[in-house]
Structure 1
Amino acid sequence: MGMKKVTGAIVEKNLMRDSLQLMKISEELKKLSGVIEAVVAMGTETNKEIAKQLGLLLPEVEKAGDSDLFIAIAASDEASLKNAMSKAKELLSAPVSGGEMEYLDVESALSALPDANLAIVSVPGEYARDVTMKFLERGIHVHLFSDHVPEEHEVELKRYGYERGLLVLGPGAGTSIINGKAIAFANAVRRGPIGIIAAAGTGLQEVSSLIHNMGSGVSHGLGVGGGDVKDYVGGLMTKLSLSYMERDPSTKVIAIVSKPPQQETLNSILEFAEKNTTKPLVLGFMGKVDVKLSENLKRRTSVARTLHAAALEAVRLVSPSSYSEIVKKYTIPFDKIDEMLKPHYEKLNSSQKYIRALYTGGTLTSEALMIFDLLGLEIYSNAPLKGQKKLEDPFKSVENSVVDLGEEEFTAGRAHPMIDPTIRRLRLIEEAKDPGTAVILMDFVLGYGSHPDPAGAHIESIREAKKIAEREGRHLVIIGYVLGVEGDPQGFSEQKKKLEAEGVIVLPTNAISALAAATVALRGKLNREKVDVLYREYLKAYVEQGGGQ
């Protein structure tokens, strides 16, 4: 940078603030005249890494601890720096305004809203049990947003809820749709006949948005939390949700979406479903899961190995007549994908061999990992599937790397990358500098709670990444998958248009986007038998083990 700049930092000891509030303050400071860059954040390793990449890891910042807050600013002159520092302090001391009433405890909230039947709890994990229990004792369902809830607390809460018919959605439940109303991170999907039970946040968002885009709708989407399908919980909330959806007259088909459940829990969920449900079921467990179906269940159960297949199958069951048209649009044939990407991969040079996938959604990461694995690609990841290699340093990609930026190492002390894209914008530039990078794959998750303009927030970095590659005589392919619907606050077509205007290739599902990234990296030379298996067994659900449909 030829620009002259001055930098400064202040550390406030033991001052805790919400990461979302700090992100907003950083954005406000960047708008001030003469400010080049600003970071206001907690002193976690992740935030120091970001400060370092922005040239703001000043000695004071380096010394800050996890519970200290730092302000680091680069400005064009001393006066601008001083002005920005005092503005930062002013913003930090301003009271947080909100349209809602604030209550200091559960009792005062309930006396003000005596008819409430659902509470959303978002407190540090170690306090979640006590707060949640107060609601359950009063017969109120809970959507538990908190992470880091001890397993034994989760079990205690879910047993208590299960015995009384009360839902405990979560912990770590990012998404639910109840009676068509979005809770936390969710999309503006229309109401309809499909009920979804999900032990996967972005899994619920992907399946519900695809169902909407395919012309159908969702009655309820209940996020039970990833722990629910593990043996320590035993699927308690998955079972309770099945009972609710069986009794709900507006739900005609029930889909369960999750990363592979543990075997004992899976068997007990299937046993419960056989005895307590009569509606058609779609089991959307990611990957190869040993699903043992009884004769009774075989007649009304389809098995889907991807989010893509789960959505298609649920829609097929409720509107079979439109199915073939929908498949044409969403399951793009491989030859067509290859033809679309050929002009791009033909421009790559011989050193450009690798996929760099930078995801914000955990379940989308798993779906991509599974597809790359099936296609025979060797993959490194910070959230690897069985048999894949773990990245030694999640901040540094190696060969083919798939990174889930929503994992704890990236979110400690800062907002999730769906809300604050800073960490991915910086990583995108790093990947563009690597002469081995052939294609960058990214998800853009729309909906309530997400960044107001995810595509727009990445445009400068996308341009910069392409410029870096061009300067070194390389062509960089960028594939973007937009998860969302037209009615989302960000607007689906608006986001798609912004990305396409920058030369980003946008495809209709995450699974197809992953296949496209592999097609670019392998210059179209994929093992055709493996591609056939992908289309036959992964992009389409099947009824009964190995049986066609």
Structure 2
Amino acid sequence: MSAPGPGEGVRHVSLRSGVYADSVRLMQVSRDVGARDGVTAVLVAMATPLNVELAAGMGLAPDGTPSPDELLIGIRATDDDALAAAVTAVDTALAERERSRATADAQPARTIGAGLDDLDPNTAALAIVSVPGQYAALEAADAIAAGRSVLVFSDGVPVEQEVALKRAAREAGVLVMGPDCGTAIVSGVALGFANVVRPGPVGVVAASGTGAQQVSCLLDAAGVGVSHVIGVGGRDLSEAVGGLATLDALAALDADPATERVLVVSKPPAPSVAAEVARVSDGLATPVRSAALSPGTPDLTAAVEALLADMGRDVPAWPSRPGPGATAAPGAVLKGLYSGGTLADEAMLIAAPVLGDVRSNTPLRPELDLGTDLSATGHVVVDFGDDALTVGRAHPMIDPTLRLEAIARLAASGEAAVLLLDVVLGHGADPDPATALAPALREAGLPVVVALVGTEADPQGWSRQADALAAAGAAVYASNAAATRHALDLLGAV
């Protein structure tokens, strides 16, 4: 549909059935079309409830109640010619993708089983599954049956299927990383969201993707590398799963001659599972240290510092850019806008004892749940990487749209605040996050503190990103714990 609006030019909103593309590809189409002359707003995405809500906020809401299986195309432009050219550009981009797939000399296998049929068993020891959650267990089971370890990137896998997969993997003598495993480093090869870190003697077992990235980057900054980072999925240390993959990963690292120390990273684990992991760890030849976040336990930076002390290594001054010395207005509150769930949890665990209740979409206590009101007043920490906010969308480490809109809303609200953000670098992440974030921070005009997780060797470069963010007025810290404490200091809370 196309219609004029006061000061809005013209718009096109349509729904298409039988068309599917992954969220990262559609994000790229949106960016490319949005850069065209005369185009003022564009959203090309699957019509999930989240994306429909986002379209409505852009004035591009479709009629009726679309199905998540439909493709939503919404464009606003200054005039009819620009609008028509933009619609054509979307059509061309989508058609080119289909044409490339149809004319490829060798069609890719459509299942893990079919792919394994074409491979020498000695050339592929690990399979990666990244399909909608309802199909992931079937693909992972095929890999396990073929004697391969498997990384399940997919989320939305029922917990009973996760347990069944991990039990089958144990019987087969292989590992299941995941589901919802976004970070791993296997023998120096980064999988998913992972950083370029030096090789070394520390093995990491992680029920947390950004937690694994934080500790591996701090170790790198201290001159200590990692042998492997084995992601086990965020639910592995829950009562329901019982730490199945964590225990198997510990055994694998204990048998690895390149691993001299092990660090276990997680969000708050089930107490009984944590006790079992501790019991098993005590019986291993390789020393194991826990970095399990929960009230009263050391933060991730403190856990790394303790590990360095265990190894007889000096603790360095963690990289930082102090910022311009901004001060918060009287009565200011903490606003944490995070892409990493574990980093958001860590920020709340540090802030809550000082500030009192901190509300969140992933709260420390159920009664502090934000629900759908992500713009609530008071102390708030939002995890934009939570599964509920990534259905049909690229992860916020790739696509910053939702977080940029939240920054703009906060600035427009007039609420006095200190803004606390994470920016996570590395493979798979936005190739230049500061370019999009810095203008938004300048325009917001609020005191800003950034936890910048990454290394100098990452494609984005830690110093390059830190300098750009500092130039926009942010105080930048390699340690999320240090960033959080600086934000509290700006609030006058410490």
Give yes or no for contact 1:256–1:284 (8 Å, CA) kept in 2.
Answer: yes
Distance in 2 of aligned mates of 1:137 and 1:65: 35
Q: Paired residue for 2:290?
A: 283
Distance of 1:360 and 1:131 partners within structure 2: 28
Provide, for residues 87-109 of structure 1, a one-character-per-residue CA deviation record: whole Å limited to 9, x for no partner.
11121222265999721233431
Report whether the alignment pairs 1:496 with 2:482: no
Q: Residue in 1 aligned with 2:338? A: 359
The one-letter amino acid of 2:422's match is D
- Among 372, 391, 415, the residue aligned to 1:436: 415
Alpha-carbon spacing, 1:65–1:460, altered in 2? closer, same or farther (3 Å): farther
Map residues 171-320 of structure 1 onto 2, 5 A cutoff. 171-275=179-283, 277-288=284-295, 305-318=298-311, 320=312
State whether residues 455 and 461 of structure 2, in contact with CA within 8 Å, keep that contact through their aligned partners in structure 1.
yes
Aligned counterpart, 2:400:
421
Equivalent position of 1:386 in the other structure: 365
Q: Tell me the residue number matched to 2:314.
A: 322
Counterpart CA distance in 2 for 1:9 and 1:478 is 36
Offset at 1:49?
2.6
1:49-99 Cα deviation digits (max 9, x unpaired) = 322333333x53x64332221111111111010010111112122226599
Q: CA deviation at 1:388?
A: 6.2
Residues 361 and 374 in structure 2, CA contact (< 8 A), matched pair in contact too:
no
Instruction: Judge which range, 203-212 or 38-47, deviates more.
Output: 38-47
Higher helix share: 1
CA contact (8 A) 1:171 1:224 kept: yes
| Structure 2 Cα separation of the partners of residues 274 and 189 of structure 1 | 28
Number of the residue aligned with 2:78: 76
Distance 2:126 2:188 in 1: 14
How far residue 215 of structure 1 moved from its aligned partner, in angstroms, is 1.1
Matched, 1:90 2:96: no
- SS of residue paired to 2:410: helix
1:49 counterpart = 2:49: no
The farther-off stretch of 79-88 and 454-463 is: 454-463
RMSD: 2.3
Identify the match of residue 507 of structure 1 among 461, 477, 481: 477
Contact residue 380 and residue 398 of structure 1 kept, 8 A: no
Alignment check: 8 A CA contact 1:356 1:397 kept: no
Work out whether residues 7 and 56 of structure 1, in 8 Å CA contact, stay in contact via their aligned partners in 2. Answer: yes
For residue 194 of structure 1, report the CA deviation from its aligned partner. Answer: 0.5
Structure-1 separation of matches of 2:264 and 2:403: 30
Shift of 1:14: 4.6
Match of 1:110 among 116, 119, 123: 116
1:119-198 correspondence runs (5 A):
119-198=127-206
Q: CA contact under 8 A between 2:338 and 2:384: conserved in structure 1?
A: yes
What is the alpha-carbon distance in structure 2 between the residues aligned to residue 199 and residue 251 of structure 1?
19
| Residue 67 of structure 1, aligned match among 59, 65, 69 | 69
Per-residue deviation at 1:4? 5.7
Number of paired residues?
Answer: 484
Shift of residue 385, structure 1, vs aligned partner: 0.7
- TM-score w.r.t. the length of structure 2 is 0.93
Where in structure 2 are the equivalents of 1:420-499 lying within 5 Å?
A: 420-466=399-445, 476-499=446-469
Shift of 1:343: 4.3
- Partner Cα separation in structure 2 for residue 51 and residue 459 of structure 1: 24
Aligned-pair CA distance for 1:512: 0.8
Q: Secondary structure at the match of 2:290?
A: strand
Shift of 1:156: 0.8
Question: Identity of aligned pairs, percent?
Answer: 36
Looking at structure 2, the residues matched to 343 and 186 of structure 1 have their Cα atoms a distance apart, in angstroms, of: 32
2:207–2:237 CA contact under 8 A, matched in 1: yes
Per-residue CA distance 1:220-249 (angstroms, 9 max, x = gap): 110011121112221111111111111111
CA separation of 1:271 and 1:434: change in aligned 2, threshold 3 A? same
What TM-score do the two structures reach when normalised by structure 1? 0.84
2:423–2:453 CA contact under 8 A, matched in 1: yes
> 1: CA distance between counterparts of 2:325 and 2:188?
43
The residue number in structure 2 matching 1:534 is none
The CA distance in 1 between the partners of 2:195 and 2:262, in whole Å, is 19
Q: Amino acid of the residue matched to residue 112 of structure 1?
A: D
Residue segments in structure 2 that go unaligned for 5+ positions in a row: none
CA distance in 2, matches of 1:207, 1:230: 21
Q: Which residue of 2 aligns with 1:344?
A: 326
Whether the 8 Å CA contact 1:356–1:437 is kept in 2: the answer is no
For residues 354 and 253 of structure 1, do their structure 2 counterparts lie closer, same or farther at Cα, with a shift above 3 Å needed? same
Cα 1:105/1:123, change in 2 over 3 Å: same
**Residue type matched to 2:138 in 1?**
D
2:236 counterpart SS class: helix
Distance 2:9 2:34 in 1: 14
Native 8 Å contact 1:230 1:265 kept in 2: yes
| Paired residue type of 1:52 | A
Q: Per-residue deviation at 1:15?
A: 2.9
Matched residue type, 1:95: R
| Kept in 2: contact 1:394–1:403 (CA 8 A) | no
Q: CA deviation at 1:263?
A: 1.7
Give the secondary structure class of the aligned counterpart of 1:226: coil
Deviation at 1:422, TM superposition (A): 0.5
How much does 1:281 deviate? Answer: 1.6
Match for residue 44 of structure 2?
40
1:92-149 CA-partner distances (Å, limit 9, x unpaired): 2222659997212334312332221000111122222211111111111101111111
Letter in 2 for 1:413: G
User: Is 1:400 paired with 2:392?
Assistant: no
Q: Take 1:505 and 1:101, find their aligned partners in 2: how far apart are those partners?
A: 49
- Alpha-carbon distance between aligned partners in 2 of 1:128 and 1:314, rounded to the nearest angstrom: 36
Specify the code of the residue in structure 2 equivalent to 1:46: L
CA distance in 1, matches of 2:107, 2:472: 42
Whichever residue aligns with residue 313 of structure 1, its letter is A
Kindly indicate whether the alpha-carbon contact (under 8 Å) linking 1:405 and 1:424 is maintained by their aligned counterparts in 2: yes
Greater CA drift, 499-508 or 422-431: 499-508
User: CA 1:82–1:216 in 2, change beyond 3 Å: closer, same or farther?
Assistant: same
